[in-house]
């Protein structure tokens, strides 16, 4: 089992919600943004993004809308919903607590 | 569209058995993704063909994406599950007492079934609609049988017009349903097949329908109720389960329950025509599933 991959799998929804909450965006842009912000750490089969987006949309955390770009191409932009913002706020708070606790445990004790 | 991209999208669409509007929407999103990725790779110096091949590889297996998208959209809510099972439970209710012999109760349930089936049709055929549609066909089939009893040859003339017309409409609806998903065709056929299976138990000797059929039907009421409750439970499981293979398994349980119930209730004492009808009805459960398996080949 790849521990890093498992961690990513468990947190994909939160990462997506976080990116979408910053600005409405579409699939390919999300992949690029995740790679850019993580300095290439998050590498995954790009196709797995779409089931995750549709799952979030089904749970009413985000909503998708087709929009025409200035170059005439159509892309499906995702927007965070009010419920999505509430869920994200809760998850971020939990993550902060968890991260603080993990750091406190693993860092060497100072005497 | 470059061939590797169109081939990829074709594989994706062929693997995803859901409402075509959802399927086409996701395919359009994947196409947009491939378009962006290919353009970026081309800007980095790759040929159009190479760029689209790498773009397709970076998305991963289209069958896997289709499976995950299916699991997202295929699970109905509890409300949908209960509403889908409701017609089976109503029929079970008819047999828990002598209600099935009461023309008022039977007519109310018939009118309700027809009304809800028509409503579902106009609502874009949601998943709960298919079991209701199965019952909607029941009076159509019964009317065909009754036509045969019209006096002096009129029955056959009427049947010659009526039966081909009904078959035409039935095949048309089956094809429409199967195009969306073969499993929905199973959901639609199930109540008819259970009814035919029980009809097969009403014969005796060489008679397809024994003279005391009504009394026998009432004697077997408990087993009939069990059959329809099994169908209701399988329908709920079908709607609520996510993986497609579990949905398929859930649809194979009712015919086994019905076979056991019919044989137990009749003590195996049914005519050869009835055996034929019984086995045909139960094996027909497997036809849409078999078609589904062929689609995967």
pLDDT at site A3: 76
**3-state class of A77 per DSSP?**
strand
ipTM: 0.87
Report CB contact under 8 Å: A50, B64.
Answer: no
Please tell me which of the candidates A46, A51, A74 has its beta carbon nearest to residue B33.
Answer: A46
In this complex, is the C-beta atom of A60 within 8 Å of any C-beta atom belonging to chain B? no
User: What pLDDT band is residue B293 in, cutting at 50, 70 and 90?
Assistant: low
Structural domains of chain A, count: 1
Lowest mean pLDDT among A78-92, B110-124, B187-201, B224-238: B187-201
What phi, psi does B169 have (nearest 5°)?
A: -65, -45
pLDDT at site B103: 80
- Is the pLDDT at A106 greater than 90, yes or no? no
A62 falls within a domain: yes
Percent of chain A with pLDDT over 70: 97
Percent of chain B with pLDDT over 70: 87
From the centroid of its chain, how far is CA B154? 34
Domain boundaries, chain B: 3-72, 76-296
Q: Could you list the residue range(s) of the whole structural domain that residue A38 is in? A: 3-106
Domain at A70, CATH number: 1.10.10.10
Report CB contact under 8 Å: A28, B33.
Answer: yes
Report CB contact under 8 Å: A76, B62.
Answer: no
- Is the pLDDT at B297 greater than 60, yes or no? no
A111 falls within a domain: no
Please state the rounded mean pLDDT for residues B38-61: 92
CA distance B214 to chain A (A): 49
Q: Which pLDDT tens digit goes with each residue over B127-146?
A: 889 999 988 887 777 777 66
Burial class (CB in 10 A: 0-12, 13-18, 19+), A23: exposed
User: What pLDDT band is residue B295 in, cutting at 50, 70 and 90?
Assistant: low
Q: Which pLDDT tens digit goes with each residue over B83-92?
A: 999 999 988 8
CA distance B175 to chain A (A): 28
A20 falls within a domain: yes
Report CB contact under 8 Å: B32, A55.
Answer: no
- Is the pLDDT at B151 greater than 80, yes or no? no
- Is the pLDDT at B51 greater than 90, yes or no? yes
Residues on chain B touching A51 (C-beta within 8 angstroms) = 65, 68-69, 71-72
Q: Across all residues in chain A, what is the average pLDDT?
A: 88
Please state the rounded mean pLDDT for residues A31-45: 84
Separation of first and last alpha carbons in chain B: 26
Q: Which pLDDT tens digit goes with each residue over B188-241?
A: 888 888 887 887 777 666 665 666 777 777 788 888 999 999 999 999 999 999
**A5 or A32, which is more confident:** A32
In this complex, is the C-beta atom of A55 within 8 Å of any C-beta atom belonging to chain B? yes
Please tell me which of the candidates A31, A55, A76 has its beta carbon nearest to residue B29.
Answer: A76
Determine the Cα–Cα distance for residues B213 and B243; give it in Å rounded to an integer: 42
A7 falls within a domain: yes
In this complex, is the C-beta atom of A28 within 8 Å of any C-beta atom belonging to chain B? yes
Report CB contact under 8 Å: A50, B30.
Answer: yes
Residues on chain B touching A27 (C-beta within 8 angstroms) = 29, 32-33
**3-state class of B201 per DSSP?**
coil
A86 falls within a domain: yes
- Is the pLDDT at B53 greater than 90, yes or no? yes
pLDDT at site B38: 94
- Is the pLDDT at B187 greater than 70, yes or no? yes
pLDDT at site A53: 95
What phi, psi does A79 have (nearest 5°)?
A: -120, 145
Q: Across all residues in chain B, what is the average pLDDT?
A: 83
């Amino acid at each position: 089992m790849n521990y890093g991959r498992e961690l990513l799998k468990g947190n994909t929804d939160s990462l997506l919600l976080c990116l979408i909450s910053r600005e409405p965006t579409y699939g390919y842009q999300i992949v690029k943004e995740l790679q850019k912000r993580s300095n290439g750490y998050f590498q995954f089969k790009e196709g797995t993004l779409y089931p995750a987006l549709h799952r979030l949309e089904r749970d009413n955390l985000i909503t998708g809308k087709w929009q025409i770009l200035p170059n005439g191409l159509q892309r499906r932009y995702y927007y965070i919903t009010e419920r999505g913002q509430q869920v994200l706020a809760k998850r971020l708070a939990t993550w902060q607590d968890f991260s603080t606790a993990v750091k406190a445990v693993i860092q060497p004790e100072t005497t | 569209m470059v061939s590797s991209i169109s081939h990829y999208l074709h594989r994706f669409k062929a693997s995803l058995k859901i409402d075509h509007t959802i399927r086409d929407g996701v395919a359009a999103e994947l196409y947009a993704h491939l378009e962006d990725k290919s353009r970026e790779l081309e800007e980095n110096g790759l040929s159009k063909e190479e760029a689209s091949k790498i773009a397709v590889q970076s998305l991963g297996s289209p069958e896997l994406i289709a499976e995950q998208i299916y699991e997202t959209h295929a699970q109905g809510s509890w409300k949908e599950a209960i509403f889908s099972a409701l017609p089976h439970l109503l029929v079970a209710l008819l047999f828990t007492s002598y209600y099935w012999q009461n023309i008022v109760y039977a007519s109310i349930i018939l009118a309700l079934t027809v009304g809800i089936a028509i409503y579902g049709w106009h609502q874009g055929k949601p998943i709960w609609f298919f079991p209701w549609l199965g019952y909607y066909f029941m009076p159509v089939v019964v009317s065909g049988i009754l036509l045969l009893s019209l006096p002096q040859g009129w029955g056959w003339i009427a049947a010659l017009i009526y039966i081909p017309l009904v078959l035409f409409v039935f095949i048309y609806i089956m094809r429409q349903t199967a195009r969306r998903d073969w499993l929905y065709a199973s959901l639609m056929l199930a109540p008819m097949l259970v009814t035919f299976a029980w009809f097969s138990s009403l014969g005796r000797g060489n008679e397809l329908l024994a003279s005391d059929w009504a009394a026998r039907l009432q004697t077997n009421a408990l087993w009939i109720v069990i059959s329809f409750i099994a169908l209701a439970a399988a329908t709920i499981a079908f709607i609520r389960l996510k993986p497609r293979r579990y949905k398929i398994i859930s649809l194979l349980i009712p015919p086994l329950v019905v076979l056991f119930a019919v044989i137990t209730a009749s003590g195996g004492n049914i005519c050869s025509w009835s055996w034929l009808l019984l086995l045909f009805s139960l094996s027909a459960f497997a036809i849409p599933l078999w078609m589904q398996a062929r689609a995967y080949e």
